[in-house]
């Protein structure tokens, strides 16, 4: 089963209350790819970079058996760069710099060996680009997951609507769910968004966890693990998405029950990402770290309430 990931491979420069970085490896595609690589054997990535992208970062992707054939390298171009500064609560941040660089002219070309992918993760990008990728595939993947953000709701609403109509799972955050639906209640927001195309909606609540909804009004909640010290929330949402689709790619089971497990795996990986800056944690997990984290999730919510009928 092959997984195709479309998303930025980029440079980030990050400041949080704990410290700051120089230009380091970042990008949605990078986090999604690394997270998915813990489950998926064949992870193909489609992206664009400049020729300023260092070999050592390429090596990080290859160390995770990520196929980079689909990363266009623009000669003389500069790689997408984002600089951000997080506030004390780490739930909000200011963008200091955004240099689109090669991303401004990105025209995705899906390599032939990617065109039969079974699972597709469309990371946050212009919905036109996300749709262009979908249209180049030889067959409809078994599952298409799309991540987006308020920026596209503001400036490309019709394109976004056209694109999400073609996907199975949409992942957005709380405020975006409210903006997209004009509903404050997340229950009502989910109900409305699920009439717009996707079969499943994941509402990411950052340090407050994530909600999974389907059209049958099933609802599942995964908490975020309380973390001793959050160093850097960058990439947590993308890591979550990568773990989610990676787990589904590996298990080939698209039932709601299995999607719940996928949400937990994604959450567990995301809880690791934030413990170091950039990809410093998620790219170097030790053999038992993910399992240990999963057990912590289990402990965190497991409760025996079988005696309900006593009252």
Task: Give residues in contact with a second copy (CB under 8 A).
Answer: 17, 38-39, 88-89, 184-188, 205, 208-209, 211, 218-223, 226-230, 250, 257, 260-261, 263-264, 290-291, 294-295, 297-301, 303-305, 308-309, 311
d(CA 76, CA 86): 32
Judged by beta carbon, residue 98 or residue 185, the one nearer a second copy is: 185
- Smallest distance from a second copy to CB 228, Å: 5
Judged by beta carbon, residue 6 or residue 186, the one nearer a second copy is: 186
- Smallest distance from a second copy to CB 39, Å: 7
- Smallest distance from a second copy to CB 62, Å: 21
Judged by beta carbon, residue 42 or residue 79, the one nearer a second copy is: 42
Judged by beta carbon, residue 208 or residue 252, the one nearer a second copy is: 208
Judged by beta carbon, residue 82 or residue 297, the one nearer a second copy is: 297
- Smallest distance from a second copy to CB 43, Å: 15
Q: Which two tokens stand for residue 159?
A: 């394109």
- Smallest distance from a second copy to CB 223, Å: 5
Judged by beta carbon, residue 86 or residue 114, the one nearer a second copy is: 86
Cβ burial, residue 243 (10 Å; 0-12/13-18/19+)? buried
Judged by beta carbon, residue 159 or residue 174, the one nearer a second copy is: 174
Judged by beta carbon, residue 18 or residue 109, the one nearer a second copy is: 18
Judged by beta carbon, residue 53 or residue 297, the one nearer a second copy is: 297
- Smallest distance from a second copy to CB 49, Å: 30
d(CA 14, CA 102): 21
- Smallest distance from a second copy to CB 98, Å: 27
Q: What is the 3-state secondary structure (H, E, C) of the chain?
A: CEEEEECCCEEEEEEECCEECCCEEECHHHHHHHHHHCCCCEEEEEEEEECCCCHHHHHHHHHCCEEEEEEEEECCCCCCEEEEEECCCCCCEEEEEEECHHHHHCCCCCCHHHCCCCEEEECCCCHHHHHHHHHCCCCCCCEEEEECCHHHHHHCHHHHHHHHCCCCEEEEEHHHHHHHHCCCCHHHHHHHHCCCCCCEEEEECHHHCEEEEECCCCEEEECCCCCCCCCCCCCHHHHHHHHHHHHHHHHCCCCHHHHHHHHHHHHHHHHHHCCCCCCCCHHHCCCCHHHHHHHHHHHHHCCCCHHHHHC
- Smallest distance from a second copy to CB 290, Å: 7
- Smallest distance from a second copy to CB 10, Å: 28
CB burial string 282-297: b at 16+ within 10 A, e below = bbebeeebbeebbeeb
């Amino acid at each position: 089963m092959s997984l195709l990931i479309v998303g930025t491979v980029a440079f980030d420069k990050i400041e949080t209350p704990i410290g700051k970085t120089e230009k380091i490896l970042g990008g949605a595609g990078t986090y999604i790819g690394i997270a998915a690589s813990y489950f998926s054997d064949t992870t193909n990535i489609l992206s664009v970079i400049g020729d300023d992208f260092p070999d050592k970062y390429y090596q990080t992707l290859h160390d995770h058996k990520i196929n980079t054939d689909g990363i266009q390298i623009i000669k003389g171009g500069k790689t997408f760069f984002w600089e951000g500064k997080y506030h004390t609560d780490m739930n909000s941040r200011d963008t200091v710099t955004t240099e689109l660089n090669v991303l401004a002219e990105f025209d995705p070309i899906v390599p032939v060996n990617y065109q039969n992918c079974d699972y597709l993760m469309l990371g946050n990008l212009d919905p036109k680009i996300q749709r262009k990728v979908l249209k180049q595939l030889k067959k409809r993947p078994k599952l298409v997951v799309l991540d987006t953000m308020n920026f596209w709701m503001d400036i490309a609403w019709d394109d976004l609507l056209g694109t999400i109509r073609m996907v199975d799972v949409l992942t957005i955050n709380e405020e975006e769910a409210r903006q997209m639906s004009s509903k404050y209640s997340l229950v009502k927001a989910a109900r409305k968004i699920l009439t717009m195309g996707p079969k499943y909606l994941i509402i990411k609540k950052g340090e407050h966890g994530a909600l999974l909804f389907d059209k049958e009004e099933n609802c599942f909640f995964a908490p975020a693990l309380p973390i001793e010290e959050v160093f850097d929330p960058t990439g947590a949402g993308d890591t979550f998405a990568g773990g989610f689709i990676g787990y589904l790619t590996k298990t080939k089971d698209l039932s709601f029950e299995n999607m719940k497990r996928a949400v937990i795996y994604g959450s567990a990986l995301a809880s690791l990402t934030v413990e170091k800056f950039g990809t410093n944690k998620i790219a170097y997990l030790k053999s038992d770290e993910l399992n240990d984290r999963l057990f912590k999730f289990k402990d965190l919510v497991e409760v025996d309430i079988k005696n309900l009928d006593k009252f």
